[in-house]
A and B are shown apart, each in its own frame.
Chain A
Amino acid sequence: AQSVTQLGSHVSVSEGALVLLRCNYSSSVPPYLFWYVQYPNQGLQLLLKYTSAATLVKGINGFEAEFKKSETSFHLTKPSAHMSDAAEYFCAVSDRASNFGNEKLTFGTGTRLTIIP
């Protein structure tokens, strides 16, 4: 069964600093990979996704992630943190062998990002 690991349940960065949130997956076949963001008292919304095209994926709000097959990683980055980026971030992986992916979507345990003024 596939799994996803997010290193660091809490990450704090200063405003303007680089944001790096780590995600590693376990899958023998490159899966579909997603990053979702959850703002307080809201549901999750999609930040970006990797399906099979370019390995560097750009998302909303200046975030991007790079798929590295050799490292089985899909880390999320943003060059300059903004106060509005404070939220919880979830990495998710789905199996290409499933019907279309979402019924076998596995979420990581989340990383709470705090921005220090």
Chain B
Amino acid sequence: AQSVAQPEDQVNVAEGNPLTVKCTYSVSGNPYLFWYVQYPNRGLQFLLKYITGDNLVKGSYGFEAEFNKSQTSFHLKKPSALVSDSALYFCAVRDLDNYGQNFVFGPGTRLSVLP
């Protein structure tokens, strides 16, 4: 079965600085990787995904993610953080072996951008 790890519960960054939210994965075949963001009392919103092709994926709100097959990582990045980026971020992988190819989510990383 596929799995996802987010090694940091919390990431703090100053506004205007670059941010990175880390994600590592374990899959049995080609990975389908996703990032979602959750604002307080809201559902999860899709940010970006990696299916195949270019290792640098660009998504919504200026976010991008870098797929690294050798390190089995899919870190989320943004060149210049905004206070409004403060939220809970989830990395997910599509589980091709179980549950009808549903999604497996990491535990989430809370990002706080300080003014």
**A and B bind:** no
